[in-house]
Structure 1
């Protein structure tokens, strides 16, 4: 008889944490060996009780290792052989592509049936990719809109600078004064960045910035170059 797959589940919402664990237990041969609510708990758990697959929320603030892409990057560097299934509510194509660049081959959208979490765990444990239906639809639309090309969505240095300052709380007028550019130029660069990212609302821009580490660029995760205790 094969040993069960040992799975750790991390999410800051108790309902999602319970639902994910319940969904996994419906699959034979899976065992949830740990639960975490933020990155501090998660990393400590992985260091002391190794597992076969990690299922983790993308937006999980509050821990000392951050969340979003900052946390995923840290996990990939420090636990390079650990398969990761990412849970998210975001549908941003650029973010999904960035996750794949980091080595995440399975993403499950929280609006999809929770059974997809178990399917994702089965796939990544066999080194196979798995995207839940909502995630797959976003990636398929991206491929169609780019004519089948897989070129990454890249913001220019100035667009990235404007986005970073905007999500830090500055107004368009304040950004124009700090960067010595016209209000019209700053507004155009912000709109261009949102268009490239497939974002329509400022709230989505804040979500993108958080998940990409733009809100905490000055505080690298512990263990990373530049971190100070």
Structure 2
């Protein structure tokens, strides 16, 4: 009789990160690593084979068929409701965490923490529990404290957050509309509402906000900020 085993799939667009996670989890007897994916197209190909109990996925995997971030996780939850999710990401700011919680995703590990924190996160996800690595826990505590003190900004909806992330990552309104299958007018309205909630009037300040709060990776934003600065 075989022992208990969780089938785990890893998704990240950086091969070195995949290798590091694979190495960190390969010695855990309760895990069976059944596949890896570098983008959402590869990921859905794996999930279609019913080879996964728990998916460990990066938040940002741009340039693929099904998108990334909140849009990707929403689609996964609808199409593969039995698959449990652990998000492994550098984007551990309050807005992102709130959007993940709204989707029912409560196991998040920061890439700033050791890969070993994925082990309890995977077990927690499999049993419907909650797990945050130390860096994420700190963000959650600060968000809750700000909320109690009345200092928390008006929260962005998950759609506003996704539009902000994609825009700050360098996509145009038209490109975001195409990627998210929404109208240009809808995307523009969601961007304006996000800026109003944040008290931001200029696009260049929106880009700086996204960088300072980890909504997009700094490397992807520097080019967008430079382009925006030239337009001011």
Structure 2 length normalisation: TM-score?
0.69
Partner of 1:54: 55
1:36 aligns with 2:37: yes
Which has the higher relative contact order, 1 or 2, with Cα contacts under 8 A spaced 6 or more apart? 1
Structure 2 portions without partners, runs of 5+: 174-192, 218-232
Instruction: State the Cα distance separating 1:49 from its structure 2 match.
Output: 3.6
Selected match of 1:208 from 208, 215, 219:
215
Contact 2:95 2:156 in 1 (8 A): no
2:32 aligned counterpart, secondary structure: strand
Note the aligned Cα RMSD (angstroms).
3.5
Q: Work out the CA distance in 2 between the residues paired with 1:83 and 1:126.
A: 9
Partner of 1:119: 120
Rate the CA distance shift 1:8–1:166 in 2: closer, same or farther, 3 A: closer
Structure 1 length normalisation: TM-score?
0.70
Partner of 2:25: 24
Over residues 143-183 of structure 1, what are the superposed CA-to-partner deviations in whole Å (9 max), with x where a residue is unaligned? 0111189x994349xx98x969974569xxxxxxxxxxxxx
Instruction: State the Cα distance separating 1:202 from its structure 2 match.
Output: 4.4
Structure 1 portions without partners, runs of 5+: 171-185, 211-229
1:131 aligns with 2:132: yes
Partner of 1:142: 143
**Bigger Rg, which one:** 1
Partner of 2:104: 103
Q: Work out the CA distance in 2 between the residues paired with 1:114 and 1:141.
A: 23
1:128 aligned counterpart, secondary structure: coil
